[in-house]
Amino acid sequence: MEWKNVLTDLFKTDYPIIQAPMLGVTTPEMVAAASNAGALGSLALGDLPAEKCIELIRATRRLTDKPFAVNIFVHKIDPITPNLEADYVKTKKHLQKLTEKLGIETDFPDIKEIKLTDYHDQIEAVLLENCKIVSFTFGNLDQESIATFKENKVILIGTCTSVQEAIVLENSGIDIICVQGIEAGGHRGSFLEETIPQIGGLSLLSQVTEAVNIPVIYGGGIYNAKTLLASKTLGADGFQIGSLFLGSAESALQDFEKHRLRNIKENEIVLTRSFTGRYARGIRNTFIKEIENSEFVLPYPYQNKLTAELRKTAKLEQNADFVSIWMGQSITSFSDVSTEIIIRNLVEETENFG
């Protein structure tokens, strides 16, 4: 297989393989390992404060001199209205009663204690650190931000979950589109409709590659040579891989979470809004069963901030019923070797396929 293409030229990598940004899983060590393997590592900055973004970028640079991307959330934040505040109080009370009943004690924050990050602050930090590849999800950058990035010669990668979102991104001047299939683990990158498009990844990929004229990365269900080559056949220039690295040596997941992954059944992988208020694909557990389809799900990021302390407590107690373990639909062995070795093995398998 010929790996060199438009993306390897743009990224200055050996392979058009992108390690998916997974907030809460990705570490500077994982990003560096991916980049050192010749792929493009992606540092998940999510909605972290600017000073934390700078800290993580510098930590990654100490581990590799290879290119890597940074990833930010560009969602719109609903203002706190009297109705939202009332819903927050109601949801907080319910969660307090539920968790006490189920034997886990935690302190849920009041709505006025929540700290929210404006992605414009992150942009300033990213440019200060001279990052040259920026991916984003949950929306599209505003035109002023796009122009600022362009002035600084930054490559922009937007996320889509529908053909229409891909077209919007291309028309905005975004350089590369990452097509996120419904199979993919973690949060949906949808931003045009309140109801997320539930389109099979390969079907969506084929349609997007016919609808746009810029390079396309595909993410969702890639875990071996066959799935990578299938997406290449349907027009993908790049291959974003996430779940394959969940059990790796550099993953931030704890041993009890990795153990849960390695014992997963296919019917336990679900889409849920229960933890964060945005749909994400992960492992069904007690919290999801109790909260999903209830009235106690606030809009993102308020649900996410409300449940953050609960998830932190559950991690300390190694309680898999109250943590969000995101993963895609492709079940693997979740190898515990280095991300670098996993990528090199995938490359070798792909080159030897058939």
pLDDT value for 194: 80
**Percentage of the chain exceeding pLDDT 90:** 96
- Average pLDDT over the chain reads 96
Q: For residue range 219-234, what is the model confidence (pLDDT) as tens digits?
A: 999 999 999 999 999 9
**Average pLDDT for 272-287:** 97
**Percentage of the chain exceeding pLDDT 70:** 100
Q: Report helix, strand and coil shares of the chain as percent, to nearest 5.
A: 40, 15, 45
State both tokens at 101.
């009943």
Map out the domains of the chain as residue ranges: 1-77+116-247+335-354, 78-115+265-326
Q: For residue range 111-156, what is the model confidence (pLDDT) as tens digits?
A: 999 999 989 999 999 999 999 999 999 999 999 999 999 999 999 9
pLDDT value for 125: 96
Q: Please name the fold of domain 1-77+116-247+335-354.
A: TIM Barrel (3.20.20)
**Average pLDDT for 174-198:** 94
Q: Give 78's pLDDT tier (boundaries 50, 70, 90).
A: confident
113 DSSP 8-state letter: G
Q: What angle do CA 316, 317, 323 make, to 5 degrees?
A: 80
> Alpha-carbon distance 192 to 182, whole Å?
16
At 186 the three-state DSSP class reads: strand
> Alpha-carbon distance 3 to 81, whole Å?
51
Angle between helices 28-36 and 50-61 (to 10 degrees): 40
pTM of the model: 0.97
Q: For residue range 331-342, what is the model confidence (pLDDT) as tens digits?
A: 999 999 999 999
**Average pLDDT for 153-170:** 98
151 CB-near residues (< 8 Å, 6+ apart): none
Is residue 19 predicted with pLDDT exceeding 90? yes
pLDDT value for 77: 87
State both tokens at 13.
């990598």
pLDDT value for 354: 63
**Average pLDDT for 50-79:** 96
Q: What backbone phi and psi angles, to 5 degrees, belong to 235?
A: 110, 0
**Average pLDDT for 31-47:** 98
With CA atoms as reference, report the closest residue to 306 among 322, 284, 327, 286.
322
Sign of the C-alpha dihedral, residues 257, 260, 264, 269?
A: negative
